[in-house]
A = this chain, B = another copy of it.
Amino acid sequence: MIFGIDIGGTTVKIGAVENGCIIDKYEIPTCKDTLFLDICTFLRKYIKEKEIPEIEGIGFGIPGNVIKNYIYNMPNIGLKNIDLNQEIKKYFPNVEIAAQNDANVAALGEMLYNKEYQNACMITLGTGVGCGIVLDGKVLEGCHGDAGEVGHMGIATEYNFSCTCGLKGCLETVASATGIVRLAKYHYNEYPTQLKETFTAKDVFDLARKNDPLCSFVLDKVGFYIAKCIAMLAVTVDVDVYYIGGGVSKAGDILIQAIEKHYQNLSHYAVKNVKIEAAKLLNDAGMLGAAGLIQRD
């Protein structure tokens, strides 16, 4: 048995995984001061109650920057500089530990679930834009934990909106949930629209589905920039499939179609035939991927 732990800002999802399937799942609240104590206490109780003879490892999806199991920062939780090996080995001295940031772990989960490909990227469109890159079944971490940080590709230079990272023109400034709202506000007076004065990214896509002129325009722009990002990934890591996940991706088919249309015009000839698909796993990708970090013999 392997445990896959998906740490979020408000809850921690804990999955018990056997042979690549989640057989049990739980949620506990995220408490800053007792985060890893709470997780380990839960696991020890579960192991005792279920009389589990041996656990192979514990994998973690971390909402922040982590390199070689050292957590540099979890900004949304307010924790910094945690040596995860040390923290967990207090309670589980002989268990393998592995951790990656949550976008990477979600990508691995999606890949493991779909089973078809060993090389995949998953672009997560949420509050920000993240991406996990899986090569030959393994998550690419990067020398500075920055592999797959495509939200900070400077490809939206047409607008050059300021990004929270300090740069301008990052993909995230136009393709995240807030980015989509920003784009719609920017073009608000140029196209007729049924959007009210305050609206969300979901409202934009819902109205785009009804051919609202402004919202259709914004959807097309978002599709263009994500396609551009995939075209960059395709001449860099060149994987088989690009999954689009995260809250914004719930727009579904209309978003995938907008991306695919532009991708054909933006991509290098050798990589025209990649797959661009909506992610299938929703809440479970983190747990499954976190468990997947443990390298079984």
* Whole-angstrom CA separation of A228 from B154 in the bound complex: 8
* Whole-angstrom CA separation of A84 from B122 in the bound complex: 34
A120 nearest in chain B by CB position: B143
In the complex with contacts A135-B140, A165-B268, A167-B266, A146-B234 CB distance below 8 A: yes
In the complex with contacts A144-B238, A236-B237, A238-B142, A270-B65 CB distance below 8 A: yes
Interface residue? A240 (CB, 8 A): yes
* Whole-angstrom CA separation of A141 from B118 in the bound complex: 14
Q: Are A232 and B234 in contact (CB under 8 A)?
A: no
Q: Are A232 and B236 in contact (CB under 8 A)?
A: yes
In the complex with contacts A145-B238, A148-B236, A270-B144, A135-B135 CB distance below 8 A: yes
Q: Are A236 and B233 in contact (CB under 8 A)?
A: yes
Q: Are A165 and B236 in contact (CB under 8 A)?
A: no
Q: Are B153 and A232 in contact (CB under 8 A)?
A: yes
Query: Which chain A residues numbered 201 to 254 have a C-beta less than 8 Å away from chain B?
Result: 228, 231-240
Interface residue? A39 (CB, 8 A): no
Partner of A271, one of B133, B144, B155, B166: B144
Copies of this chain present in the complex amount to 2
Q: Are A268 and B152 in contact (CB under 8 A)?
A: yes
* Whole-angstrom CA separation of A234 from B157 in the bound complex: 18
Query: Which chain A residues numbered 164 to 198 have a C-beta less than 8 Å away from chain B?
Result: 165-167
Interface residue? A96 (CB, 8 A): no
Query: Interface on chain A toward B: helix, strand, loop, or mixed SS?
Result: loop
Q: Are B270 and A146 in contact (CB under 8 A)?
A: yes
Q: Which residues of B contact A142 (CB under 8 A)?
A: 237-239
Min Cβ gap A281→B in Å is 22
Partner of A149, one of B149, B239, B268: B268
* Whole-angstrom CA separation of A232 from B143 in the bound complex: 15
Partner of A270, one of B149, B150, B234, B268: B149
Interface residue? A119 (CB, 8 A): yes
Interface residue? A258 (CB, 8 A): no
Q: Are B238 and A237 in contact (CB under 8 A)?
A: no
Counting from the closest, the 10 A-B pairs by CB-CB distance are: A142-B238, A149-B235, A146-B238, A147-B238, A152-B268, A146-B270, A236-B236, A143-B240, A144-B270, A146-B271
Known: A149-B235, A165-B268. 10 other contacts (CB 8 A): A135-B135, A135-B140, A142-B237, A142-B238, A143-B239, A146-B234, A147-B235, A155-B155, A157-B157, A236-B236
Can you sample 26 A-B contacts with CB below 8 Å? Answer: A133-B236, A140-B237, A141-B238, A142-B238, A143-B240, A143-B274, A144-B238, A144-B271, A144-B273, A146-B234, A146-B235, A146-B268, A146-B271, A147-B236, A147-B237, A149-B235, A149-B238, A149-B268, A149-B270, A150-B236, A157-B157, A165-B268, A165-B269, A167-B268, A233-B236, A236-B237
